[in-house]
Structure 1
Amino acid sequence: MNPYDANSHPGIHFVAEALGLHSVSTLTTAHHPGEPLYQAATRVIGAANELDEAHERVTGAAQDALRLLEPVARGQLSSGKVAFALLRSSLPSFGEHLARETRACDLLVESVSAYQLLLREAGTEQRAAAPRVSAALSRSSNQIPPGAAADAAAVPISTAVDKPLRSR
């Protein structure tokens, strides 16, 4: 279940849904700084936060507009002209907030897609590297003196396989 509220934090909520995370803060901890996946994860979190901030601005502007229109809704037409004038002057700002939110949403979708692509590529490279590492280890174990083989066997193979390969 997604612990993030889509109404108040749509960016973080989307990331949790798209990547199946219970805590978005763990996204970068799964990778080492400087790795492409770490950089992509950082962009995802930044884009999610940017969308959340833009959404908060849109929500605030909408709430301000509602406050201006409440007297008119109650039938207090004397304040209607002032409310409409204030609302009309705030509409360009509201439009700018909506445009920023749309751009932030697009950026988030692009960032998550790029992260997922890198994640798939890293998984494919790791699976492709495993037979090469196993073959290299078996070839090299034939050349290792018998006493040193036990030392080599103590080294976990996963350390070589778990690291994503750099793309050329």
Structure 2
Amino acid sequence: MERRFTMTSACGVCGSTNISDLHARGIKKVAPTTHSLSELAAMTSLLEGRQAIFSKTGGLHAAALVNPQGKAVYVREDVGRHNAVDKIIGAALMAGELPLSNWTVVVSGRVGYEIIQKSVAAGVSALVGVSAPTSLAIDLAHEFGLTLMAFARDGKAKQFLPS
């Protein structure tokens, strides 16, 4: 019997539509962040000057992976915000950095549940987004202990803290 199915280059949790799918895959709660909320809110400034293609075209998203010392170690751009996140987590994986306890993902756009899934799977402790999170993204962040900040601009952000 021939079986056909689709395989993607995604992180392995993409396509899950609920929280129980992540638990079934053995994904654990992340370590709490040691960054203050004001430090997290200011992290979008780490993208400034690091988006060469965006500055020319205005057409790309960016993602940064910020280490526990507050340095943006990996910054990548892509037409898709999910792809930019894949690139930074992939770079950290290739450098032997995973799991990313007390690291922070910073994204230049909206925070969908897929971005939370990828971050949690990599062990990231916090995520900061420039735009709105989806309701499932908020639920996932709470379930897995990820500190979520959104609407982050000019050093201010709305907090979506784990319960």
Q: Give the TM-score normalised by structure 1.
A: 0.18
Q: Give the TM-score normalised by structure 2.
A: 0.18
Please tell me whether Structure 1 or Structure 2 has the larger radius of gyration of its CA atoms.
1
Higher RCO (C-alpha 8 Å, min separation 6): 2
As a proportion of its length, which structure holds more helix? 1
As a proportion of its length, which structure holds more strand? 2
